[in-house]
């Protein structure tokens, strides 16, 4: 198993909340497992751990049938006392939130769910997860893109100095494409095939991904457009 794959377990009994959270989790993390209550969540966690496929994050509701969220958190912590959790709750659950102190709960989502808040927190969590994972990597393959930025081709992490820059899945694929034979200009067709596996992907879609990366590195941009030819890192 690739140690840099990010895995999340979502435990939520309300269908609407489950669909919303699973959608946003899937846009940020690599693998998302879903459970409809605390007992199913614990069983999935235990089975996954036995298969040596740990979860980087468990996101759970509190009040659920069969086993509530806090009981599940306590049971999971008995198996792995380093596991990190995010709790989904309502204002009326303050008593339960207080009980969660000391259980490796790193954040809360308060119902009704706010998309902006969800995305901001999840992106920060993924960045922290990848930072922690990257520290244990023994073999590093780093390409200095310029004096400011570097890209680790083994971990697929972009750094500004020692600071990690958060990237989406498509943005990572873009950098993978551009850093393969780094001195070679990559045509639009090559990038479309590499990132989307489809040369018919629109130019606008491709430019959007490129612009997102360029915006993140605007202080020392390294992606250069060669008119009529394609893109290269310089």
- Choose the final residue of a domain: 82, 108, 135: 135
Q: Which of 28-42, 70-84, 90-104 reaches the highest mean pLDDT? A: 28-42
pLDDT of residue 138: 43
Residue 116 lies in a domain: yes
**CATH at residue 156:** 1.10.10.10
pLDDT more than 70, % of the chain: 90
105 and 21 housed in the same domain: yes
- Choose the final residue of a domain: 135, 153, 183: 135
pLDDT of residue 2: 54
User: β-pairing, 85-90 with 149-152?
Assistant: unpaired
Query: Which three-class secondary structure string do you get for the chain?
Result: CCCCCCEEEEECCCHHHHHHHHHHHHHHCCEEEEECCHHHHHHHHHHHHHCCCCCCEEEEECCCCCCCHHHHHHHHHHHCCCCCEEEEEEHHHHHHHHHCCCCCEEEEEEECCCHHHHHHHHHHHHHHHHHHHHHCCCCCCEEECCCCEEEECCCCEEEECCEEECCCHHHHHHHHHHHCCCCCCECHHHHHHHHHCCCCCCHHHHHHHHHHHHHHCHHHCCEEEECCCEEEEC
Residue 149 lies in a domain: yes
pLDDT of residue 148: 95
Q: How many whole angstroms from its chain centre is CA 90? A: 25
Task: Give me the domain span that covers residue 51.
Answer: 7-135
158 has pLDDT over 50: yes
Residue 1 lies in a domain: no
124 and 152 housed in the same domain: no
89 and 123 housed in the same domain: yes
184 and 117 housed in the same domain: no
- Choose the final residue of a domain: 114, 135, 156: 135
Least confident of 41-50, 92-101, 113-122, 206-215: 92-101
123 and 166 housed in the same domain: no
Number of domains in the chain: 2
149 and 64 housed in the same domain: no
Beta bridge partners of 26: none
- Give me the phi and psi of 44, to 5 degrees please: -65, -40
Region 11-38: mean pLDDT is 93
Cα separation, 193 vs 191, whole angstroms: 5
Residue 72 lies in a domain: yes
Cα separation, 195 vs 173, whole angstroms: 6
229 and 177 housed in the same domain: yes
67 and 171 housed in the same domain: no
With cut-offs at 50, 70 and 90, classify the pLDDT of residue 1. Answer: very low
Structure token digits, residue 75: 């049971």
With cut-offs at 50, 70 and 90, classify the pLDDT of residue 3. Answer: low
pLDDT of residue 119: 87
């Amino acid at each position: 198993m690739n140690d840099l794959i990010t895995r999340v377990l979502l435990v939520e009994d309300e269908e609407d909340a489950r669909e919303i959270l699973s959608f946003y989790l899937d846009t940020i993390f690599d693998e998302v497992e879903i459970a409809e209550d605390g007992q199913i969540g614990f069983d999935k966690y235990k089975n996954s751990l036995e298969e040596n496929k740990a979860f980087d994050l468990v996101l759970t509701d509190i009040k659920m049938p069969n086993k509530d969220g806090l009981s599940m958190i306590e049971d999971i912590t008995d198996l792995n006392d380093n596991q990190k959790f995010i709790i989904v709750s309502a204002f009326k659950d303050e008593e339960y939130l207080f009980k969660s102190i000391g259980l490796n709960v790193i954040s809360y989502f308060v119902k009704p769910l706010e998309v902006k808040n969800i995305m901001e927190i999840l992106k920060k969590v993924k960045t922290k997860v990848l930072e922690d994972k990257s520290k244990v990597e023994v073999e590093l393959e780093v390409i200095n893109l310029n004096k400011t930025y570097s890209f680790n081709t083994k971990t697929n992490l972009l750094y500004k100095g020692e600071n990690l820059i958060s990237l989406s899945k498509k943005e990572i694929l873009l950098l993978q494409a551009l850093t393969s034979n780094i001195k070679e200009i990559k045509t639009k067709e090559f990038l479309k095939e590499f990132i989307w596996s489809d040369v018919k992907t629109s130019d606008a879609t491709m430019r959007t991904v490129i612009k997102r990366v360029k915006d993140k590195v605007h202080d020392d941009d390294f992606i250069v457009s060669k008119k009529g030819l394609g893109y290269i890192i310089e």
